[in-house]
Amino acid sequence: MAFENKFIQQRIEKAEALRAEGINPYSNDSQRNTTIEKYLNVNSDIEEKEDKRDENRHYIISGRIKFFRIMGKASFIKIEDESGMLQIYVTRDNLPEGFYNTVFKKLVEVGDIVEVGGFPFITGKGELSLHCSEFKLLTKAISPLPEKFHGITDKEIRYRKRYLDLIMNNEVRKTFQIRSKVISLTRRFFEDKGFLEVETPMMHPIAGGANAKPFVTHHNALGVDRFLRIAPELYLKRLIVGGFEAVFEINRNFRNEGMDATHNPEFTSIEFYWAYKTYKDLIEITKEYFQYLFEHLNLPTLLPYGDIEVNFGNLTELPLIESLTTVGGVPAEVVNEKEKIVEFLKSKNITVKPGMNLGQLQGELFDEFVEEKLIDPTFITEYPVEISPLARRDDENPAITERFELFIAGREIANAFSELNDPIDQYERFKGQGEAKEAGDDEAHEMDEDFIDALSYGMAPTAGQGIGIDRLVMLLTNEHSIRDVLLFPAMKPVYNEEKIEEEG
């Protein structure tokens, strides 16, 4: 904190001057009895009256000063709380003698948090305001706010100083209010469906439940390394083995991978597991979930997202191999031949990792030519078994799995499948993943013998799904960077942090 900044020094001096006047610049005796939103709603009837003021009503409201205009013996300020903005009319004659000239005009300024008491009235310009008869400073801000008309345009500052971003930008606050509602509604939806909310470990002995590179930490008391959770899947399925039939967890996951517009190393998702159901049941409950969210958030089903519109009333299903030709434009004679896929990818100047099997190559085709073209919600089904190590094989075609991923606006939002509950098959798939890891795939799944042991006791036929909350909120709020829906996104260290790390 650069207290030597001259503007901060001036405000510190004003804080000291307030103390000299017997005023605590950081008091803790607020008497607020209403919010700005409630005040505006309750007093909207004054506009209908011939007398545009009501001195019989008295309110005490608190908020941050966002606007300050002095006009001699009277002034207008605007204060803001979480619910809205309100204009306050302050006059010399309505405050204690000397207060207006000595304190209000000289020591109070934009950014300070204040409490005002008074009655409602309508200004000559027709704005419902509050006529101030009591004024109290609650918190003196010693750092000045950014210039009002330009706000904060530097995204680096917005992300690093989210508190300042929230002060200056109402729309940012609305985004995070929607995020909070989405999480609350998600919890309510699954509870109403009979699911039990549970909590599973965030430090794992094995980085399991997904193909991802983990963060590593050390457990001092046990003397062992642990991996921050990349997914809660294997623990949630252990609970199904134990007899719970419908469980969910709104969870934080950690993946030690790259950062971009849709990836943050720490992210939020919901995973849920449902005994005696299949992935087809998950498609139906997902449709219900989206309908529930849109109804309770009062959103239109045709939702703008940047330059496109997403029709949430049009949820379709499409097998992955079929999508390669119908959406991706890959020739039909290519999609089922390993050598032809490699040749096709190289002809498009796409690097092919050595040793990729047919399923992995088909996944590569999908990533390159299909994913970004899926605008309306699309359930891509029938994934190759080679890229679905935890999903149940299809009974009629063992080369594919009973799995879907949901894509919206060109991005994956959800992943789901009928769970593999054959312990022998699961063991062999883990072995295959281990071989891939030895060959250089650092995101391949490790062998989890305890999970195999759990499956050996018998897990009911089960379907499971994960939905990315961050990406979902991006869609619902028309945000195009995951950092805009995370209150405190991961950021590169600034100089002081780097220096501390080096010296440490």
- 137 pLDDT above the threshold of 90: yes
Q: What percent of the chain has pLDDT over 70?
A: 94
Confidence grade of residue 403 (pLDDT, cut at 50, 70, 90): very high
Chain centroid to Cα 355, Å, comes to 37
Q: Can you tell me the distance from the alpha carbon of 170 to that of 349, in angstroms, rounded to the nearest whole number? A: 45
Domain endpoint, select from 93, 111, 145: 145
Q: What is the CATH number of the domain that holds 190?
A: 3.30.930.10
- Model confidence over 212-232: pLDDT tens digits? 888 999 999 999 999 999 999
What residues make up the domain containing 473? 168-328+370-503
Mean pLDDT calculated for residue range 96-120: 95
Domain endpoint, select from 113, 145, 177: 145
Are 109 and 252 within one domain? no
Residues 6+ apart with CB under 8 A from 145: 66, 110, 111, 164, 167, 168
Q: Do the Cβ atoms of 464 and 271 come closer than 8 Å? A: yes
pTM of the model: 0.89
Are 253 and 374 within one domain? yes
53 in any annotated domain: yes
Are 187 and 103 within one domain? no
Are 134 and 218 within one domain? no
Are 129 and 186 within one domain? no
In 105-251, alpha helices (H): 105-107, 155-160, 162-168, 170-192, 233-241
Are 174 and 141 within one domain? no
**Which region among 203-207, 242-246, 267-271, 496-500 has the lowest average model confidence (pLDDT)?**
496-500
The CA–CA distances, whole Å, from 377 to 85, 158, 405, 482 equal 38, 31, 10, 19
Q: Quickly tell me which residue has 């204060």 as its tokens.
A: 79
Mean pLDDT calculated for residue range 368-391: 94
59 in any annotated domain: yes
154 in any annotated domain: no
pLDDT at 151: 55
Tokens of 262: 């849709």
To the nearest 5 percent, what fractions of the chain are helix, strand and coil? 35, 25, 40
Q: Can you tell me the distance from the alpha carbon of 172 to that of 392, in angstroms, rounded to the nearest whole number? A: 42
- 428 pLDDT above the threshold of 50: yes
489 in any annotated domain: yes
Mean pLDDT calculated for residue range 135-158: 82
Q: What is the CATH number of the domain that holds 59?
A: 2.40.50.140
Are 129 and 216 within one domain? no
Are 229 and 132 within one domain? no
Confidence grade of residue 378 (pLDDT, cut at 50, 70, 90): very high
Q: What is the number of structural domains in the chain?
A: 2
Residues 6+ apart with CB under 8 A from 78: 65, 66, 67, 85, 86, 87, 88
Mean pLDDT calculated for residue range 273-294: 97
Mean pLDDT calculated for residue range 232-236: 94
Tokens of 3: 């207290």
How is 108-141 classified by DSSP, letter by letter? --TT-EEEEEEEEEE-TTS-EEEEEEEEEEEE--
Tokens of 123: 């200004």
Q: Using the 8-state DSSP alphabet, how is residue 195 labeled?
A: P
1 in any annotated domain: no
Neighbours of 288 (CB within 10 A): 11
What is the rounded radius of gyration, in angstroms, for the C-alpha atoms of the chain? 29
Q: How many CA atoms lie within 13 A of 494 on its CB side?
A: 6
The better pLDDT of the pair 115, 492 is held by 115
Own/partner long-range contacts of 486-493 (Cβ < 8 Å, ≥24 apart): 486/264, 487/162, 487/176, 488/159, 488/162, 489/159, 489/264, 490/259, 490/264, 490/265, 490/266, 491/156, 491/159, 491/160
- 497 pLDDT above the threshold of 60: no
Are 375 and 286 within one domain? yes
337 in any annotated domain: no
Domain endpoint, select from 111, 145, 179: 145
Residues 6+ apart with CB under 8 A from 493: 501
Q: Can you tell me the distance from the alpha carbon of 497 to that of 334, in angstroms, rounded to the nearest whole number? A: 51
Confidence grade of residue 445 (pLDDT, cut at 50, 70, 90): low
Confidence grade of residue 444 (pLDDT, cut at 50, 70, 90): low
Are 210 and 94 within one domain? no
Average model confidence (pLDDT) across the chain: 91
How is 335-383 classified by DSSP, letter by letter? TT-HHHHHHHHHHTT----TT--HHHHHHHHHHHHTGGG--S-EEEE--
Are 177 and 317 within one domain? yes
Mean pLDDT calculated for residue range 378-388: 94
pLDDT at 431: 85
335 in any annotated domain: no
pLDDT at 149: 47
- 391 pLDDT above the threshold of 50: yes
Q: How many CA atoms lie within 13 A of 147 on its CB side?
A: 4
- Model confidence over 451-490: pLDDT tens digits? 999 999 999 999 999 999 999 999 999 999 999 999 999 9
Tokens of 59: 């309110």
20 in any annotated domain: yes
DSSP strand pairing (308-311 vs 316-319): unpaired
Are 376 and 271 within one domain? yes
- Model confidence over 2-17: pLDDT tens digits? 666 888 999 999 999 9
pLDDT at 54: 78
